[in-house]
Amino acid sequence: MNVQSYYKKLQEINKLAVSPRIIESGQGAYLTINGKELLNFCSSHYLGLAVDERLKKAVKDAVDKYGVGTGYRTLAGTHVLHIELEKAIAQLKGTEAAVVFTSAYMANCAAIQTIIGKEDIVISDELNHASIIDAIRLSQVKNKFIYKHTDAKSLEEQLKQASLLAQTPKSDGKTPVILIITDGVFSMDGDLAPLPQIVKLAKKYGALTMVDDAHGEGVLGKGGRGIVDHFGLLGKVDIEIGSLSKAFSTIGGFIAGKKTLIDFYNQKARQRLFSIALTIPDTAAALEAVRILQESDAVVKKLWDNVSYIKSEFKKLGFDVGHSQTPITPVMLGDEEIAKKFSVRLFEEGIFATPIVFPMVAKDKARIRVIPSAIHSKKDLDFAIKAFEKVAKELKVL
């Protein structure tokens, strides 16, 4: 293949791509697209902090005091704000320590690659996030087991095989590490990992546990501590991955756990050693968001009031909202074309809610993924409910 034909092939592929809507405003209860104000009903800013005045002030104050840029954490990039943020995250999560990365994607890659070698063993839920899948590939681990989605029985079957495999020492004479990895909240359906069973099985078979709680922080557990606290398992999960771009409405990710493990990541994680640290404004915003949760759970309670209301009203109308246990509310439609038409009509009615279709979900599982926020008023929710009912009747999907 010559260069010209290569670019022509890329051009043909690009023609099939769907361009995202361009946002012209902040990510509040409403946002602006093409000059039109629409109810923001699909972003994962669960607590509405993207336009919060406290975060804005924290950013302005930090930039006035420290400027904008940072640097490599191992050279001249570790700032006092990074240390404060990591301490605050550990306090919120109820762990001994935490380390921050530029994204949760990088945190997942670091968490796995740093401690897992080619001869170790990984056991992963079949619906884990793409960042987990990529992180496992990056580790180059040869022994990979997949268990059925949230199925503890299937997990134990894989653990039995892994345990037999682990009886053979690695080439350096050490015993292979077994690591069980799961999302905490699965982002397409809003269901939860069976963490109590996972922890119990991990203890039985001598495995480490890792949970990606990107959609759990600020949402689940006491004061938004996350899924580990939700199930009363503080201190019993080895590796907790978090995102600062969901409920905290900024950017970045982190690993939280025992101090010994976090110290090791600080020394060895390539994603920390060879990447620029979070900028001053990003760090200041994230720190303020964590402080808001530490001070009060009022915003978390407001989120759940809105979640309960929207799910109840959708069910009354006859919508199938799946088996979600979180704010993620899938309005199941099945047919991809219907889902796309539904989203277009919602847009015309003043609601921004995108369709979720293959390959993000199975071909017969298309849906509109609704995510209410703490920033929405009851008036906002009623407006959305009426629009959903109107469009559903037009498309005859109820």
Catalytic residue among 215, 230, 365, 376: 215
Interatomic CA distance for residues 249 and 58, integer angstroms: 13
Catalytic residue among 45, 82, 246, 376: 246
Taking the alpha carbons of 377, 246, 179, 78 in that order, is the dihedral positive or negative? negative
Question: How many other C-beta atoms lie within 10 A of the C-beta of residue 233?
Answer: 18
Measured in whole angstroms, the distance separating CA 26 from the mean position of its chain's CA atoms is 21
3-class SS letters over 279-295:
CHHHHHHHHHHHHHHHH
Phi, then psi, of 69 in degrees rounded to 5: -80, 165
**Is there a contact between 104 and 255 (Cβ–Cβ < 8 Å)?**
no
Measured in whole angstroms, the distance separating CA 101 from the mean position of its chain's CA atoms is 14
Interhelix angle 378-395/336-348, rounded to 10 degrees, is 130
Match 């269901």 to its residue by tokens: 191
The question of whether 45 is a catalytic residue gets the answer no
End-to-end CA distance of the chain: 51
Match 């894989």 to its residue by tokens: 158
Peptide bond into 176 cis (omega under 30): no
Q: Which two tokens stand for residue 70?
A: 């940072």
The question of whether 149 is a catalytic residue gets the answer no
Catalytic residue among 124, 131, 139, 187: 187
The question of whether 187 is a catalytic residue gets the answer yes
Ramachandran category for residue 21: left, alpha or beta (phi over 0 → left; psi -120 to 50 → alpha): beta
Catalytic residues: 187, 215, 246
